[in-house]
Amino acid sequence: MAVRAMALKEEGTHPPSEGILARFAKVRSIRSLSDLEKVKEERPDIVLMDLRMPHFDGKEVMEVLRESQRVPMLVLFDASVEPTTLLKQLNSLGTLKAPRRSRSPNLSQVVRLLGISQEALGRMLNVSARTAHRWLKGTRPRRTRDLDRLLEIVALMEQTLPGDDAVRGYLYHDNPTLQSEKPIDLLIRGEFDRVTADLQAVQEGVYV
């Protein structure tokens, strides 16, 4: 059975997009929140919606559509939006899922997965290379905020990407949504939030 996709846009905005969207979805222009009741009656399988509309609050639109059924939402956004800003906007819509925590901190597996040295691991975790070496040799690591955040990112990558090769491909290639920086460089600098936001956007099916 074909998937019934519906694209919502505010009436009078982005006229050229209607022809593009109509190729794979039924386009509905909305003038008021009451128009969403008609959308609900059609019971679409998936709804595409702009994250930022001039006169409508995205959270309110989603709440109305989800009153009767849990409709999957694909949110579209401007490529110029910083991932950290996008993360806050998506969190406000209630769309993001919290990543599962790793069962136990096996740093040797983390290092192999990320393809990093113990020196790089030390910089990520804000500890000395000597401390990182001891942890990798079996000394139980001291649980810190940086360690917990790194483990959460690793768990998120494993959930989002199809395998180890895909993880390393993601980490070591310039990423246009991260201002053409490599995610691995951001992690080494301790910029965990930017990488987390980018991965959660991918996981949620948010595309440019």
> At residue 99, does pLDDT exceed 80?
no
pLDDT tens digits along 139-198: 888 888 899 999 999 998 988 888 889 899 999 999 988 989 999 999 999 999 999 988
State the pLDDT at residue 44.
Answer: 78
State the pLDDT at residue 64.
Answer: 74
116-120: Cβ within 8 A, 24+ apart = 116/184, 116/188, 120/188
If pLDDT is split at 50, 70 and 90, which confidence band does 18 have? low
> At residue 113, does pLDDT exceed 60?
yes
Q: Which CATH number, 3.90.950.20, 3.40.50.2300, 3.40.50.11540, 3.40.1190.20, labels domain 5-76?
A: 3.40.50.2300
> At residue 72, does pLDDT exceed 50?
yes
pTM greater than 0.75: no
Residue 82 DSSP symbol: -
State the pLDDT at residue 96.
Answer: 45
Cα 160 to Cα 22: distance, rounded to the nearest angstrom: 29
State the pLDDT at residue 21.
Answer: 65
The chain-wide mean pLDDT, for the chain, equals 76
Which candidate, 90, 87, 64, places its Cα nearest to that of 75? 90
All residues at 6 or more sequence positions from 52 whose CB lies less than 8 Å from its CB, including other chains: 58, 77, 78, 89
State the pLDDT at residue 185.
Answer: 96
State the pLDDT at residue 199.
Answer: 87
State the pLDDT at residue 181.
Answer: 94
Which residue ranges make up each domain of the chain? Answer: 5-76, 107-203
Cα 185 to Cα 163: distance, rounded to the nearest angstrom: 20
pLDDT tens digits along 124-133: 999 998 999 9
Report yes or no: 73 and 62 within 8 Å, Cβ to Cβ.
Answer: yes
State the pLDDT at residue 7.
Answer: 76
Beta strands, E only, the chain: 5-10, 26-30, 46-50, 73-76
Buried b (16+ CB within 10 A) or exposed e, 61-84: bbebbeeeeebebebbbeeebebe
If pLDDT is split at 50, 70 and 90, which confidence band does 114 have? very high
All residues at 6 or more sequence positions from 58 whose CB lies less than 8 Å from its CB, including other chains: 49, 50, 51, 52, 75, 89, 93
Report yes or no: 90 and 200 within 8 Å, Cβ to Cβ.
Answer: yes
Q: What is the mean pLDDT of residues 45-69?
A: 70
